Chains A and B, each alone.
Chain A
Amino acid sequence: MDTLILLRANMLRRKGTFVGIVLLMIIISMSMTAIMSVKTNVRESVDEAYEEADVADVFMDIPTKILPEDLLEKVRNHPMVDHVEVLEAVAITQTAFKDGQYANNWQVLPLDRHVVRMYNEDLSCYVDSIPEPSPDGFYVPLGIQTEFGCELGDTFTVKNSGCQWDLTVEGYIVEPICGASTIGSKTVYVARETFDKMLAESKEAEKNIENHLSVTMVMIYKADSCTLSDNKLARKLSQDTGLESYAYNASTRSQMKNYTVIYSDIVLSVMLAFISLLLGIVLIIMKHTISVSIDMNYTELGIMKAMGFTVKKIRILLSLQYVIAEAFGALVGTILSFPLIRALGNVFQPITGIKAKTNIVFFPSFPILILLLLMSCVFVFLVTRKAGQVSPVKAITGERGDVYFDKALTAPISGNALSLSLSFRQFTSSKRKYIAVTLIAAMLMFFMLTVNQMVNVMNSKSAMNAMGNMLAEVRVTDREDGISEEKVQEMQKIVESVAEIDAVYSTISQYISFDNVTMLSIVARDPNSFVISKGRAPLYDNEIAITDIIAEEFDLCIGDSVHIERRGMSGDYVISGIFLYISDVGHVTAMSYDAAKKLGTKEPYTVEFSLKDPKKSEAVYDALVAEYGDSMLIRYSETCWVDDTFTIAINAMQIMIYSFSIAFALVVVFMVCTKLFAQERRDIGIYKAVGFTSRKLRLLFAFRFMIVALFGSIIGTVLSFLFSNRLLEMLLRSMGVTTLTASHTFSSTLIPILLLLLSFFCFAFLASRKVKKVEVRELVIE
């Protein structure tokens, strides 16, 4: 009972501190619950969509004209296969939408049992039943809407060599396999009647045009008795039948699920790492607050001891106050996470193409919250051990330990810049008081700079290119005939007459069987255009380069030999080096055109021009269109087609991290400032007595906290320069990034520093408003 009375009284008396702890815990539990819930919701929604659509375990797209029926039969009869669904689809290699021409990898299918979900008009929910599209209409996955910004009623002209159809968007459907904007290939759906007509026309064209692509989609379902994972099954089937080497697209259920959620996973992981850091900040601030409280309530604690309270009881009392505040904050935060779950889930809908559930997920977020609370209980209890040092005699007689003032590294006050120098002096003469806040400022700065660096990577062409992304402003495609070396040189001259060229990429992407695993292979006419991190470029026709991720997964190193197959042709290749490339989550190989020719690869059909001045891309486009506009597909983009959706998600994450940092700075500054104010009340009276105004004293507080923020920022910046790259490499590895080359820019470093300094300054100025209430007469002893 006595504990309860004291607990209530203490919490009411120091409500400012506890309100601060509650606010911090609300932010943490709200964001942690929301992030974990959204992560689980996105994954579960994807899983459900896969189940509902009865997606196969292994699937591949094979050009119909080279489909080896005997190998397909082998697959059908394989003991690990339950059944195989084979669908003929109409391939789309090019589309025209509004004023643009686009090279595509789309397949058209009739609306079938695999399509079970369709969005309503405003994309807020799914409709109950899916009607048949009209003869000129089609249903597209949400990824197409994200990529093209199309609306219902918009018409696309879809093309394959010798064929062309106009199709109007009549609805957005959930296409779980490749409906995400992160996946290049797309499947669209038309009415059965329309499909039959398109397929007939496509087959007719195929007879006359050599390059006309027709596609057969092979969907393989695992037998119940098969215990292999889908990836292992794909490898086993490739080993046993060789069918996969004929596919131009091949994947497994788990790989496609992974591609669908990869961006949301990365963004949410970064945010979760940030929230963990915020939790660290809460522990630091609690340690600081408890320590200061014990100092300030020395007399009361001594009296309690004199009254018979044991040290253990006092420590439990002190700990309980903070744990109750934390638990209350965690509970309120969990309740408040509902709207955040919905908002965050909506951010990822255009990326995954699937409506995420809006459930609050109690597992694992709730057990983690409880675990964190238990850990903080132990932490708080440990921190309160200082209460054991309180002496009842000293407390009652008013005798206290020596007042600590650090004389080392103090700075003199100057008459010329009195406020600033006095603030600096106040900071340097009691540095220990500010360690916690400095550390917090450093942690916030580290994370803000790390996120900035991530944004810099995503928005910087040079950074992306240095990571092997081959971004260029102008792209020329000729899928029918390919683009010969002579043509590339001709184009280069035209481009050079308009703008300075940074790099030319003449490439083709194809899927190969790499030691029986289907993998993307980038073929470049100039192998030196690959970014090599170890070894050298695959210059010769028996060489191949691999990524770090492949080297690790297959336990390969430079000099090892690998077996490559493609459409019945094969060869052994020596690994010449490790290269960087962000595609297919790092499962990519690279070779020269000469090496690819041995696998039957045709002439590279894409040439890209990276310009030194992106603003000249339209002029380059005009010049190339004038010469090749009739025979080739030419496109340009000043932003090199960097994925807008991901940029939006990254920017949303940046805004959230900045907002939380500022909110945390606000609460922390208020909490620390309130304690300082209580400790320095007498000094404030003295300053007023010698002629300082309240405003000047508040400025002293504000400058002091700005100085603390400056030291914290310097530490955070140094830490960021040392560790941000490593942290990001760890977080982005799932995206295929193993070496991050982005550096801090002047503005991306300066802006968060200024923001933090300004926040600390303003918040301390606001928090010190009670200075006005201090009267000089408080110094009087009557």
Chain B
Amino acid sequence: MKLDRTSVALLAVGAVLIAVGPVLPKWGVSLLNVSLCYGIVVLGMMLMMRTGLVSFGHGLYYCIGAYAGGLLDHYLKLPDMLLMVAGGALSAAVVATILGFLLAKYRDIFFAMLSLAFSMILYGLLTKSASLGSTDGFNVAAKSIAGVAVNGEGRQFAAYALTVALAAVCALLLNLYLRSHRGRLAEAIRDNELRVEYMGASVRNIVHLHYIMAATFAGIGGAMMSINIGHIDPEMTYWPQSGEFVFIGILSGTGSVFAPMLGALLFETIRSFAYEYSPNTWQMVLGITMLIVIVFLPGGLWSLFRQRRAP
């Protein structure tokens, strides 16, 4: 199979990032870790947005992924990074498959609000579970990767390398999918569902599939985030978290699988510096950024890179 330019670039950037990992300043590594985890989640948002759907409750799967990973560590004493990520992805996919039967029927604001409702149900459940630490959550410590025990600097690098690799692989898979026959139907559904149906494709099946894919990405992102951060709490499925994913999704645009990664990196960078340099008004800084992007770059950050294709 011949890879397209985006895929080659993805692999190259991923390899370079892993290679420079040891010489990056530590805070740069943690910034990249967090950004790429968000980026993986937003890959799913991007797929949904391409299909014409915005979920206000994507934190649900982000949280499920994190808790699934965390519970593997907490109860089954299997603190392996790969297992945690796999567990997170699988749990998110299973829940999304079930909820998808209902949600795939809805569009627009109904889809958005229903997904929000499900995420808040999980929030309520977690808040009431004292054994899981209620709102305080609990700490997670991944101690090995693929069975190889790691700690200290080695652990940090392993987590970073895994984050970058996952981000690259997820983006690569989504890119391949978007270029496939079925993947191209996403935008067609957004533009005109009826026509897609007349062409012989089942819109509902595709929406359901995309929903499961988006959830799986979120599960992976959540599990990886819990490994990087070392702590999980119900805040991960609270509505502002989902709002953040929508924010990054809009900031990035749906032009390329690179966009969510860049958008998340920009978002995290602005947020982190705003926290430090204007602790009283960091929310305003983010709001103004959003305003600027919407007014000047309605197609998101990625439209900056796409102008060359315009006639």
Q: Do A and B bind each other?
A: no
Listed in ascending order, the chain A residues whose CB lies under 8 Å from chain B are none
Listed in ascending order, the chain B residues whose CB lies under 8 Å from chain A are none
